[in-house]
Copies of this chain bind each other. A is one copy, B any other.
Amino acid sequence: MPDILPPDCVGLVKPQSHKFTTPLALDCGSTLPNYEMVYETYGTLNKNHSNAVLICHALSSDHHAAGYYSMQDKKPGWWETCIGPGKPIDTNRFFVVSPNNLGGCKGSTGPNTINPETSKPYGPDFPIVTVRDWVKSQARLGDVLGISQWAALVGGSLGGMQALQWAIDYPKHLRYCVVIAAAPKLTAQNIAFNEVARQAILSDPEFHAGHYYQHDTLPHRGLMLARMLGHITYLSEAAMRKKFGRELREGKINFGFDVEFQVESYLRHQGTSFVDRFDANTYLLMTKALDYFDPASDYNNNLSAALASVLAKFLVISFTSDWRFSPARSREIVKALLDKKKQVTYAEIKAHEGHDAFLMPIPKFLQTFRAYMQQIEI
């Protein structure tokens, strides 16, 4: 909790929401008859409505990207390093919109919200949503806010995938596209990690086939395991070594199954605290959206063809130690864009933080990101 908010912070913020009554047809074949989306905004929309930036969030994230809800908050939004006055996404210039994705668990319609047809939480009946579905729902939010063309679409990890899909699906509706620490599709290994996480949740006896809300419980063991596993893939081996090494919590080996090494303590803490703040059904949905994302699949697995019609200019950023979505994966996107003579800037940032680097205050990253955003005309 800050005593005084720093001058480069957007300050105290409040989520807003909009109820959509036009049905939304989803990739899976289902239709959401109506739904709600919560979002936050930072900065001011200019007269021409030409300075709007849409932030797309990653797997376990939400709409609270910057600022604080109250002076009692311990932490600001998840991208406080990048959004604020004078920051890369400069709220003195840009009007920033940050929605919670459909299927999420922080206010937008999802498994933990009430299904009006049954008056019970959707639970496992909430349809599987894709990156394309999210983009469609975000486009409708843009309509509501009077934004016919975004100055930029910006996202990291799964958020970067949404930005990429935007450029493909709505080429005229964005001028710039910033894709950070992402990939054009998951590898078998990425899918494998997601599958273990899903099995941890699905096999938890307290999952109750997704209806745990009615049983007044939740699959805390499974969700904890999923999060612990996720965290291993978010950090690089070097970051873990630097952070924990083989440090023993009590300075000695105890020959037991309680926490012994600091890294175990860290993972258990990450796991248990996640259970209090995230919904297991949402976690399942998000991993599926990741697995399914593959814009080239509609173009005979040719990513260049998939990107043939994009009009946005691209900034693609990767981090050297990211082994979840390695620089090589970002370069696939860059290559496909170049194949089609699109304008793309690529920055491979030297960083030991692994995939999580996109959330960290890494000077070279912030400088590159800021410089790119500054040249965007509004």
CB atoms of B192 and A267 under 8 A apart: yes
Does A4 have its Cβ within 8 Å of any Cβ on chain B? no
Does A196 have its Cβ within 8 Å of any Cβ on chain B? yes
Tell me which of A84-92, A148-156, A253-261 binds B: A253-261
Does A59 have its Cβ within 8 Å of any Cβ on chain B? no
Contacts of A187 in B (CB 8 A): 237, 240-241, 246
CB atoms of A228 and B199 under 8 A apart: yes
**B interface footprint on A252-272 (CB within 8 Å = 1, 0 otherwise):** 010111001101100110010
Given contacts A246-B186, A253-B292, contact A232 B199 (CB under 8 A): no
Contacts of A146 in B (CB 8 A): none
A271 CA / B188 CA spacing, docked (Å) = 17
| A interface list, Cβ under 8 A from B | 27-29, 127-128, 185-189, 191-193, 195-196, 198-200, 202-205, 221, 224-225, 228-229, 231-232, 235, 237, 240-241, 243-246, 253, 255-257, 260-261, 263-264, 267-268, 271, 284, 288, 291-292, 294
A85 CA / B187 CA spacing, docked (Å) = 40
Copies, count: 2
**Within the complex, what minimum Cβ distance (angstroms) separates A135 from chain B?**
17
User: Given known contacts A187-B241, A199-B268, what 20 new A-B pairs fall within 8 Å (CB)?
Assistant: A27-B255, A29-B255, A128-B255, A187-B237, A188-B263, A191-B263, A192-B231, A192-B240, A196-B229, A196-B232, A196-B267, A199-B225, A199-B228, A202-B257, A203-B224, A204-B221, A205-B205, A225-B225, A229-B229, A257-B288
Interface-central residue, A193, A202, A263, A284, by most chain B CB under 10 Å: A263
**Within the complex, what minimum Cβ distance (angstroms) separates A297 from chain B?**
9
A241 CA / B271 CA spacing, docked (Å) = 29
Contacts of A189 in B (CB 8 A): 232, 235, 237, 240-241
Contacts of A225 in B (CB 8 A): 196, 199-200, 203, 225
CB atoms of B28 and A255 under 8 A apart: yes
A240 CA / B288 CA spacing, docked (Å) = 19
* 4 interchain residue pairs of minimum CB distance: A28-B255, A188-B240, A203-B221, A188-B263
**What are 5 of the A-B contact pairs (CB < 8 Å)?**
A128-B255, A188-B243, A196-B228, A199-B225, A253-B292
A221 CA / B219 CA spacing, docked (Å) = 13
A50 CA / B355 CA spacing, docked (Å) = 52
CB atoms of A256 and B205 under 8 A apart: no
Given contacts A199-B228, A224-B203, A232-B196, contact A244 B188 (CB under 8 A): yes
CB atoms of B188 and A241 under 8 A apart: yes
Nearest-neighbor residue (CB-CB) of A129 within chain B: B255
Given contacts A203-B221, A203-B224, contact A232 B264 (CB under 8 A): no
